[in-house]
Amino acid sequence: MPTTIDATLARAAQLRAAGCSWESVAAQLGKAVETVLKWPEKYADRWPPLLADAEKRVAVEAGAEAVLILRQLLRAEDEKVRRDAARFLLELRFKLVAPPDTSDPLPTPRSADARRLVAFLESHSDDDLARLAATVHTAATPAPPVAELQRHPDGAD
């Protein structure tokens, strides 16, 4: 069951999301401005989700109002206005019925080592990298055992 402070915080979040100043929030809730200014920090565990929820509701309401205006513009005398309103409404409809985008819009941050490697690779030509790879490959190829070299100095059996 929500407490009085929970209800007060929720109302404050609604007012803030609607664009009210802290002074207006304080006046509407009958609290001192200094008190309400401390709530986001004092109730750091409760304030962010309350504000996020209130902001979502404001965005949904604004969207509904925008759709209403666009629908009214479908009846405007100006053909361009009607066309643009119809285009916006269709785009909105397509976005609403489109499957959700599951791709990750932000790449995973690279480690410092990965950033250095990418910078190194980008600063060299393909030919430079091929020569470097050949050098590293040659250096990494183990030499034959000394005993084998002594038995077959010319490589013949």
List pLDDT tens digits, range 86-117. 999 999 888 888 887 777 666 666 677 777 77
Q: Which of 72-76, 83-87, 107-111 is least confident?
A: 107-111
| Residue 91, amino acid | E
Q: Where are the domains of the chain?
A: 4-97, 112-141
Binned at pLDDT 50, 70 and 90, residue 141 comes out as low
Q: Mean pLDDT of all residues in the chain?
A: 84
Q: Look at the pTM and tell me if it is higher than 0.75.
A: no
pLDDT at 42 over 80: yes
Contact between 25 and 39 under an 8 Å Cβ cutoff? The reply is: no
| pLDDT the model gives residue 132 | 80
Dist CA 126 CA 134 (whole Å): 12
pLDDT at 26 over 70: yes
| pLDDT the model gives residue 155 | 52
Dist CA 116 CA 122 (whole Å): 10
Which helix (H) or strand (E) element contains residue 88? helix 79-97
Three-state DSSP class for residue 29: helix
